[in-house]
Amino acid sequence: MLLRALPRFGSRRSLHVFERNFMVYRSQWIMLVSGFFEPLFYLLSIGIGLNHLVGPLPVNGRLVSYAAFVAPGMLATSAMNGAVIDSIFNTFFRLKISHAYEAVLSTPLDVADVALGEVWWALTRATAYAASFIICMVLLGDAGSSWVVLCWPAAILTSLTFSCLGLAACTYLRSWQDFDTVALVQLPLFLFSATFFPISLYPHWLGALVAFSPLYQSAALLRGLSLGQFEWIMLMRVAYLVALAIAGITLAARRFQRILAP
Amino acid sequence: MTDTLDPRLGWSRWRRSWWYHAATYAHTWRGSVASTIFFPIFYLAALGVGVGHLVTQHTGLVQGQTYLHFIAPSLLATTAMQLGEGESLWPVLAAIKWIRNYHAAAATPLEPEDIYLGKLTWVATRSLGTGVVYTIVIACFGALQSWWSLTLPLIAVLITLAFSAPLIAYAATVQSDGSFMTIYRFAFVPMFLFSATFYPLTAYPGYLRPVVQLVPLYHGVALARAAAFGRGAWGAVLCHLAFLIAMAVVGVIVGRRTLRRRLVD
Amino acid sequence: MASDYVLEAHDLVKRFGEFSAVKGVSFSIERGESFGFLGPNGAGKTSTMRMISAVSQPSSGTLSIFSLDPRTQGPEIRGRLGVVPQEDTLELELSVRHNLEMFGRYFDLPRKVLRERATELLEFAQLSERANDKVENLSGGMKRRLTIARALINRPELLILDEPTTGLDPQARHLLWERLYRLKREGVTQIITTHYMDEAEQLCDRLVVMDHGTIVAHGAPRELIVQHSTREVVELRFGTDSHEDRHLQLAPYAQRVEVLPDRVLLYVNEGDDTLRQLHAIGVVPTSALVRRSSLEDVFLRLTGRTLVD
């Protein structure tokens, strides 16, 4: 089904949207670089203090330091934050403030090319983000095993999922004030997706609710990979993230179409 | 009776500027009210209760407090800082450069100093409101132990002013918002995390402690903690107070000038 | 079959839910001509423009651009078009020059070619000195000229301009008109929407008048005026009197009388004669003006409304 959808979905021309973003970011790179640093600062801060206050935690029968427990969650968070800055904030600007996309549509590119181009860009950014964060994890001694390299593709998938969801979400925003709402979604996701403590601390029903959080699924997947603990449920987590990505990009393409070329 | 304003009666003019800012806020309050109420609850639930559970299991009390109680006052302090920061960079540059409503205000009997002080008092007003909400939320989590904690909203105002006054002064001098993101990510996020906010100063290695004590937010956090628990050496408290007041005063002195230079000269 | 028409539209309809913005319009545009769409805001001009720039699909009717079908060959068509939208959609985050070069990349043009063309077009738009400025800092007229220059980056065969001079000061308008003449001489077909009469008369070889989503008249500007109006118009203003009351009194002296809130228009062949006759019977307006008929009068005749209201 995916194969059948692909040829219709965008063209090689979508790479020009990537090119455009690259051109803009040559002057705004600090914004992107800084998005990466936030979770790193969290990791450092936790390494200094909380690591000792909390002490080691059991994960699937293995005791790991608190910093090693939190690090994959921060990796997932960095993927989410990058997507919020890029796919929601910047895309909103081009869609509703500068109307730059309208200009793009008067060229041979069509709406699917625009959406796909944004995804290419998001993927590239995610690849760089994830690689540098994983290197930091290793240097700080927060990687649980050498399987941590598998966190790389998994973190890229996380970015993809959040970017697709973000592209869809930004089409519903009406003004800058709606970014308060974005923060109101982003913060609980960050705090409650079993990023800072195991999901087992929740009452059963609440844990079941948290399992719907894509950030939780990603953090759990990354934690398993970082510690080298492989389980079948990881495939479920991957499938969930892929499904959300497809749903997000499909909705985004439809909403873009409605806004840009009614 | 004439309608001219006595130049010495500053307040009669800058309260107009205060009103102006309040009226602007009235259009956009919904989102920020939700975050004012929910953010402290989220943080206290996740870090205070969730992580606090883990801390209690492993370490027990932190400086004689449960972890939840330990971090509750620091959240008030960090929020007060974030309010001062959020209100003082982009909104000020927007009012000067993009929407240009400060220029419009400067064309009325208002002096740039009035605009500056009106803005500052408005930010302080919001901080007071936020401080009251936070104090109530913290009280609901059972983290207040002394009558001194009634001063927490005022401490929030002081912290906000200590950041807002110099930041407005700075925002009045820049041509673009290019540096704001850098300041936010590389000054305020680390400050939030490294001001002995989430664990005591003693967790830092000895050589780092004096550095942490130079971070402005550290003094806000320490002050809030002293008030919430009703303990703290007078000397230390006065030192924290002096540090924050000094920041605010220097900010006001510089800010009145920079805004005048930007709007009038 | 090769056609002399760059664009042929037959019975085009555009619906948004229940609302029909365009209710069945037909027109053909010849190679090399300047074709105008004249009408007030909300007449359906912009919806028509979006269909003929192969961005939005017609709800029904047939449309062929360069003898291609926009439903299936949109990218190919857009590759040969230049579009100047009603509102500037420049990249605020990029410099003036980069706006041109980046836009050209969407047409798959090589960077080297784009550098040369951008230099040429900056010259054309009189923006060479601002090449490295951010777009944010340009004046309204400069932004408009940059938008037009941008639309030319792919050397389009057909240029579509939606309200090109709205919001510009007179000097900036004349500069733009001059640039558009120059393009016409170079053989670029142009489609222009406007609600300014003088602009339509200056720029368009042929035009259609649109109102409420339909075409109410079409032809060359002069033809339309001859067909739908008299040679001259006398505009009278009367101090505080109600203009309505003047209708009966003035009707015998003109072929047609239009009473507007602020003035009375008399449609006649010899304006000065009419004025003398009015003086003779004691009609003394506070001001009187004799002018030639314009498209404004045609529009008033056809729709009963003025264009700018």
Residues C6-64 have pLDDT tens digits of 999 999 999 988 888 999 999 999 999 999 998 887 888 889 998 999 988 899 999 99
B236 domain residue, yes or no: yes
The per-residue pLDDT for B21 is 80
Query: Which of A53, A184, A187 has the CB atom closest to B62's CB atom?
Result: A53
Chains that touch B (3 or more CB pairs under 8 A): A
- Among A52-56, B161-165, B166-170, name the one with the lowest average pLDDT: A52-56
* Gap from A138 CA to chain C (nearest CA, Å): 37
- Does residue A7 carry a pLDDT above 50? no
Can you tell me the mean pLDDT for A114-126? 86
C191 domain residue, yes or no: yes
How are beta strands C5-16 and C60-65 bridged, if at all? antiparallel
Quick: pLDDT tens for C116-175.
Answer: 999 999 998 889 999 999 888 888 888 988 998 999 999 999 999 998 887 778 887 888
The more confidently predicted of residues A155 and A89 is A155
B167 domain residue, yes or no: yes
Can you tell me the mean pLDDT for A140-166? 92
Same domain? C214 vs C241: no
Same domain? C34 vs C175: yes
Same domain? C236 vs C185: no
- Does residue C215 carry a pLDDT above 60? yes
- Does residue A155 carry a pLDDT above 60? yes
Structure tokens at B229: 């628990």
Size of interface A-C (CB pairs under 8 A): 74
Q: Which residues pair with C12 in a beta bridge?
A: C25
The per-residue pLDDT for C242 is 66
Same domain? C115 vs C239: no
The per-residue pLDDT for C240 is 66
* Euclidean distance between CA atoms B90 and B28, whole angstroms: 15
A143: Cβ–Cβ under 8 A, 6 or more apart, which residues? Answer: A68, A71, A134, A137, A226
Hey, where are the domains in chain A?
Answer: 2-260
- Does residue C300 carry a pLDDT above 80? yes
| Contact (CB<8Å) A262/C92 | no
Same domain? C124 vs C238: no
pLDDT bin (cut points 50, 70, 90) of residue C201 is: confident
C302 domain residue, yes or no: no
Domain end (from C164, C190, C220): C220
* Euclidean distance between CA atoms B48 and C53, whole angstroms: 58
Interface test with A, best of C89, C94, C95, C148 (most A CBs within 10 A): C89
The verdict on A37 touching B (C-beta cutoff 8 Å) is yes
The per-residue pLDDT for B10 is 62
What are the strands, taking DSSP E only, across chain C? 5-16, 19-30, 34-38, 60-65, 81-84, 158-162, 189-194, 206-211, 214-219, 232-237, 256-259, 264-268, 287-292
Number of domains in chain C: 2
- Does residue B7 carry a pLDDT above 60? no
C304 domain residue, yes or no: no
Quick: pLDDT tens for B78-118.
Answer: 999 999 988 898 888 888 887 778 887 777 777 888 888 88
Residue showing tokens 């003082």: B88
C61 domain residue, yes or no: yes
* Gap from A32 CA to chain C (nearest CA, Å): 15
Rounded to a whole number of angstroms, the distance between the first and last alpha carbons of chain B is: 32
Can you tell me the mean pLDDT for B230-255? 92
Eight-class DSSP state of B6: P
* Euclidean distance between CA atoms C128 and C211, whole angstroms: 40
Number of domains in chain B: 1
Among candidates C219, C150, C90, A190, which has minimal Cα distance to B50?
Answer: A190
pLDDT bin (cut points 50, 70, 90) of residue A6 is: very low
The per-residue pLDDT for C307 is 59
Can you tell me the mean pLDDT for C282-287? 80
Among candidates B52, B37, B44, which has minimal Cα distance to B74?
Answer: B44
* Euclidean distance between CA atoms B81 and B223, whole angstroms: 13
Can you tell me the mean pLDDT for C267-292? 84
Q: Domain span at residue B112?
A: 10-263
The more confidently predicted of residues A86 and B125 is B125
B5 domain residue, yes or no: no
B4 domain residue, yes or no: no
* Euclidean distance between CA atoms C9 and C14, whole angstroms: 13
C308 domain residue, yes or no: no
Domain end (from C191, C220, C249): C220
Same domain? C111 vs C136: yes
Rounded to a whole number of angstroms, the distance between the first and last alpha carbons of chain C is: 45
Residues in chain C with CB shorter than 8 Å from the CB of A98 are: 89-93
Q: Domain span at residue C278?
A: 230-292
The more confidently predicted of residues B148 and C247 is B148
| Contact (CB<8Å) A99/C87 | yes
* Gap from A90 CA to chain B (nearest CA, Å): 14
pLDDT bin (cut points 50, 70, 90) of residue B2 is: very low
The per-residue pLDDT for A166 is 93
* Euclidean distance between CA atoms B25 and B19, whole angstroms: 10
Residues in chain A with CB shorter than 8 Å from the CB of B32 are: 180
Average pLDDT, chain B: 86
